[in-house]
Amino acid sequence: MSALVAVRAPLGRQLRSELRWILRRPRTVIGLASLCLVPILAGVGLWFATDGDGPAGPGLAAIIAGNGLVLPVFTLFLALPLLLPLVGAIWAADGLAGEAQHGTLRGLLLSPVGRIRLLAIKSFGVAFMSLVAVTLIAVVGMITGVVLFGGDGMLTLSGSTLSFGAGLGRIALTILLVTVQVWGVAAIAMAISACTEHPLVVMAATMAGVIVFAVLGLFSALDWLHPYLITSAWEGMIDVMRDPLPTEQLWRGTVVAGCYIVIGLSLAAMRLATKDN
């Protein structure tokens, strides 16, 4: 009698199955649709604030009039401190804690998938959906900005004007940088998600951590700690709107987020490796 051999499903099939599982959930569709409203509301608000051609306020908002390509960058920076980390935390909470709450994680841990491979699949789903969320905000913001403010070029904070193609390049760079920051937060959320069966605990703990980090970044007495806080790099990302493009702060912030990704996924892997069935 031949021995039974457990055969693992191809990795590509597992990744597609994970994405289908995420995208078919009604709250995912509702959440993505809600994210589309953020740049639309921001654009309409700025349009009324400028009366179509006046100043809108400090920073990026001050150069929005006549420069619709600035709107997606402005909206992403507006959503980065709280909204996008919350989105990443929600998908991370559903990935492990949500499965545990519904009793399906036990079956996944007993299946011949491998725990590290399971974590990789869940992390891929969270990373992909985070990229989708950030890209969706940027694309809707770009369309809204061009419609409301025009989009012949992009006026930078340095006073120069980039061509339409170069402006699209800056938007793509912003999408990439913001996504990496969201991945850093989501990785920590994955570590928390591996330790609990309650998704709300994951979301609350993650957002509390983001808020605490932001508060710690306000104290000058803690200057030694600021380089290690993921939130400290978010203000420096405004450099994507300068010409020529300074890369020091952008690179440093990306490295910090990368460290958080490694730490978060390592902690999640350690927890899953020792998690009982």
More confident: 26 or 189: 189
Which pLDDT does position 5 carry in this prediction?
45
Q: What was the pLDDT predicted at 1?
A: 41
Q: Three-state SS across the chain?
A: CCCCCCCCCCHHHHHHHHHHHHHCCHHHHHHHHHHHHHHHHHHHHHHHHHCCCCCCCCHHHHHCCCCCCHHHHHHHHHHCCCHHHHHHHHHHHHHHHHHHHCCHHHHHHHCCCCHHHHHHHHHHHHHHHHHHHHHHHHHHHHHHHHHHHCCCEEECCCCCEEEHHHHHHHHHHHHHHHHHHHHHHHHHHHHHHCCCCCHHHHHHHHHHHHHHHHHHCCCHHHCCCHHHCHHHHCHHHHHHHCCCCCCHHHHHHHHHHHHHHHHHHHHHHHHHHHCCC
Phi, psi of 12 (to 5 degrees): -60, -40
**Regarding predicted confidence, which is higher, 261 or 104?**
261
Q: What pLDDT does residue 62 have? A: 61
Query: How far apart, in whole angstroms, are the C-alpha atoms of residue 233 and residue 272?
Result: 30
pLDDT band for position 151 (50/70/90)?
Answer: confident
Residue 275 zone, left/alpha/beta (φ > 0; ψ -120 to 50; rest) = beta
pLDDT digits (tens, 9 = 90+) for 163-197: 999 999 999 999 999 999 999 999 999 999 888 88
Q: What is the mean pLDDT of residues 48-70?
A: 65
The neighbour count for residue 49, using CB atoms within 10 Å, is 14
User: How many percent of the chain have pLDDT more than 90?
Assistant: 55
Lowest-confidence segment of 14-23, 46-55, 176-185, 254-263 by average pLDDT: 46-55
pLDDT of 129 higher than 90 = yes
Instruction: Categorize the per-residue pLDDT at 104 as very low, low, confident or very high, splitting at 50, 70 and 90.
Output: low
Summarised one tens digit per residue, pLDDT across range 192-231 is 988 888 889 999 999 999 999 999 999 999 999 999 999 9
What burial class does residue 261 get, using C-beta atoms within 10 Å of its C-beta: 0-12 exposed, 13-18 middle, 19+ buried? buried
Reported as a single tens digit per residue, the pLDDT across 239-249 is: 999 999 999 99
- φ/ψ bin of 65: left (φ > 0), alpha (ψ from -120 to 50), beta (otherwise): beta
pLDDT at res. 105: 54
pLDDT at 15: 83
Query: 107-123: b or e for each residue (b if 16 or more CB lie within 10 Å)?
Result: eebeeebebeebbbbbb
pTM of the predicted protein model: 0.89
